[in-house]
């Protein structure tokens, strides 16, 4: 009996492993190679607080004249999501084309009655990336994490915020929520984000790159999935000559990215990492500890954000350019998730991002080797277990 059970478990584990390996290989071949360049963003707004985000987003939705395309990774069942759904229904009933793309897992809690109401009012609703054969287990872990909005083919959004009251800082465990989200009006970026949404909606049309190469390229929009982001991040870190700053809710790098960070430290690059002291997942904080210990020993400065939960996603290189968007500094974003990021050296936007990062650092405390020894025992235990599940955190 026990031999049969063990044999079955071995076959199951082998099947899952093959599913991931072959699925990863196939998805990397199919992933769109896509980016868009622009000389500068004509109009932009960096939003860091949830109340401002919802005020501005809902106002733009309210004044939409032709079309609304929205994709979110997480939509909760609460007062914020209800107001969001009501707005979409009102616009659809007024004759506006409304598309809502919800990640299959991230929006799993959205009640069927709400989806039914949306559809009855004329909102076109889809779930992104439902698990299916072939490569069931791989597809189960490939999430649409882009969180984009396109209104009237003129106004676009992407970044860290989702839909729910926790992003207003109303979660009593997490407290204040700090995040970065971009609102933009730029023809090139709008066209690229629109194409990306259409691709995510039906997968029938590959996005096409668009650039204004006759001008200085100050911003590049990068659309990634299936391992593309890992290659980008390694290239960016390897280009650093003076400093690298990473701001992320999670720090779970791949082996290759961690190796690039250690190499950068050895060649004299200053490495600063900002992560939240509070965790929204039982294993992510423990998963980062082994990396932190080695980085601190090599001279890195690691800060715990103390003013609530930190959900920012920024990679700043040499204080002269940065990557900002939807991707976390973890293996799920690097290897599986569909993400969208903006690489920019545009002076005014860069100055705003650096100013916000300086404020975040001021609200943080330095993590030292001594303080690592005082980490609570449950976190240390989770650190051991998390080694086995790093890619899925």
Which of the residues are catalytic? 145, 147, 152, 311, 313, 318
Count Cα neighbours of 66 within 13 Å in the Cβ-side half-sphere. 6
Compute and round to an integer the Cα radius of gyration of the chain.
21
Q: Would you say 89 and 118 are in contact if contact means Cβ atoms under 8 Å apart?
A: yes
- Looking at the DSSP bridge assignments, the partners of residue 132 are none
Burial of 317 (0-12, 13-18, 19+ CB in 10 A): buried
Q: Would you say 226 and 298 are in contact if contact means Cβ atoms under 8 Å apart?
A: no
**Ramachandran region, residue 175 (left: φ > 0; alpha: ψ -120 to 50; beta: rest):** left
Find, among 215, 156, 159, 158, the residue nearest to 38 by Cα.
215
Token pair 């940065």 in the structure block, residue: 322
Angle at CA of residue 84, ends 329 and 101, nearest 5°: 55
Instruction: Determine the Cα–Cα distance for residues 386 and 393; give it in Å rounded to an integer.
Output: 8
Query: E-assigned strands of 210-337?
Result: 219-224, 243-247, 251-252, 270-276, 301-305, 309-310, 314-317, 321-325, 329-330
Token pair 């107001």 in the structure block, residue: 83
Instruction: Determine the Cα–Cα distance for residues 268 and 37; give it in Å rounded to an integer.
Output: 31
Q: Would you say 341 and 324 are in contact if contact means Cβ atoms under 8 Å apart?
A: yes
Q: Would you say 148 and 158 are in contact if contact means Cβ atoms under 8 Å apart?
A: yes
């Amino acid at each position: 009996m026990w031999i049969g059970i063990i044999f079955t478990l071995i076959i199951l584990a082998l099947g899952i492993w093959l599913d991931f390996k072959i699925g990863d290989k196939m998805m990397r071949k199919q992933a769109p190679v896509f980016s868009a360049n622009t000389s500068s963003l004509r109009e932009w707004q960096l939003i860091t607080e949830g109340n401002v985000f919802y005020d501005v987003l809902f106002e733009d939705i309210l004044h939409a004249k032709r079309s609304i395309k929205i994709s979110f990774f997480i939509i909760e069942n609460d007062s914020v999501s209800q107001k969001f759904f009501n707005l979409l229904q009102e616009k659809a009933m007024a004759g506006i084309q409304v598309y809502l793309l919800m990640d299959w897992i991230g929006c799993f809690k959205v009640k069927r009655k709400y989806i039914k109401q949306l559809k009855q009012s004329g909102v076109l609703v889809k779930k992104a990336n439902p698990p299916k054969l072939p490569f069931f287990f791989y597809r189960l872990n490939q999430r649409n994490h882009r969180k984009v909005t396109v209104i009237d083919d003129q106004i676009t959004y992407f970044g860290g915020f989702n839909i729910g009251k926790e992003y207003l800082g109303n979660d009593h465990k997490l407290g204040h929520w700090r995040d970065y989200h971009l609102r933009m009006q730029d023809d090139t970026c709008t066209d690229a984000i629109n194409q990306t949404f259409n691709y995510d909606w039906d997968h029938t049309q590959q996005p096409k790159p668009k650039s204004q190469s006759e001008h200085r390229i100050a911003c590049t929009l990068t659309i990634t999935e299936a391992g593309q982001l890992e290659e980008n991040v390694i290239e960016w870190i390897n280009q650093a000559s003076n400093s690298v700053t990473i701001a992320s809710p999670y720090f779970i790098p791949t082996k290759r990215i961690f190796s690039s960070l250690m190499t950068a430290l050895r060649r004299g690059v200053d490495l600063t990492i900002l992560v939240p002291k509070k965790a929204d997942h039982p294993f992510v904080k423990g998963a980062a500890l082994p990396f932190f210990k080695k980085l601190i020993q090599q001279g890195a400065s690691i800060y715990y954000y103390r003013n609530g939960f930190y959900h920012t996603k920024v990679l700043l290189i040499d204080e002269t350019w940065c990557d900002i968007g939807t991707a976390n500094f973890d293996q799920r974003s690097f290897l599986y998730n569909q993400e969208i990021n903006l690489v920019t050296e545009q002076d005014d936007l860069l100055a705003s991002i650096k100013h916000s990062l300086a404020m975040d650092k001021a609200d943080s405390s330095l993590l030292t080797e001594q303080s690592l020894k005082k980490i609570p025992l449950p976190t240390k235990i989770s650190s051991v277990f998390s080694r086995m599940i790093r890619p899925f955190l």
